Homo-oligomer: A and B are copies of this chain.
């Protein structure tokens, strides 16, 4: 990302050393403002980047705050969808796996719901459905349609985008449910036969086993492209925040 010619000062250093002495986020970012030109902040507490942006004299990028949001991942996701499909509207977008705790799922739903002609297919076990605030505050106030289902196979044929996420064993109340359900949310070549030829498969990575490696060679697999797009989006974001204009760098 900082191949733009900049330097990275390890944030964890500043964070851990001073925070462990009881320093506030507000003080930390004021100190970092003395050293850096920009802050990319990943913080376990929701809202910390917001506080930081009010106190810092330099731009703050929210690189993930607790369970809230993950906006730079969402920019990478949007960039990938746009490059693969040529548009951000009129899409049927499936999210599959853990829709309850995946903050990138929440961020992307929120971002896509502002476009027209969007239909979400929310595929998860009952325990891992999207939180009610996503249904009540985001989806209910948008023009986007959505359905919830527990079957990836049933949903497959209509999807333009399939966004896979990890299903973690520890999210389940009991082992039996986990074993019963886990295979349903693993993407394999045979499940993919029912999919559209130009469907794009996304995954925020790292994956464990929810997409088998046999899929990697399929032209619909876009998760490594997504990483590369994430780099370009972050480079663009940094340039924009620093007020530097130059032609976009392409792969």
Residues of A participating in the B interface, judged by any CB pair closer than 8 Å: 1-3, 7, 18, 21-23, 26-28, 30-31, 33-35, 166, 205-209, 213, 224, 227-228, 230-231
Contact = CB atoms under 8 A, between A and B. Distances in A.
B18 A206 contact: yes
A23 B207 contact: yes
Contacts of A3: 7, 35
Nearest to A232: B34
14 contacts: A2-B7, A3-B35, A7-B7, A22-B206, A23-B206, A23-B208, A27-B206, A27-B207, A30-B224, A31-B205, A31-B227, A33-B224, A34-B224, A35-B231
Report the copy number of this chain in the oligomer.
Answer: 3
A208 B31 contact: no
A18 to B, nearest CB: 4
Contacts of A7: 2-3, 7
A97 B168 CA distance: 47
A31 B224 contact: yes
Nearest to A20: B206
Contacts of A230: 34
A34 B206 contact: no
A55 B240 CA distance: 34
Contacts of A1: 35
A227 B21 CA distance: 17
Contacts of A2: 7
A230 B166 CA distance: 42
Contact of A27 (B21, B22, B205, B231): B205
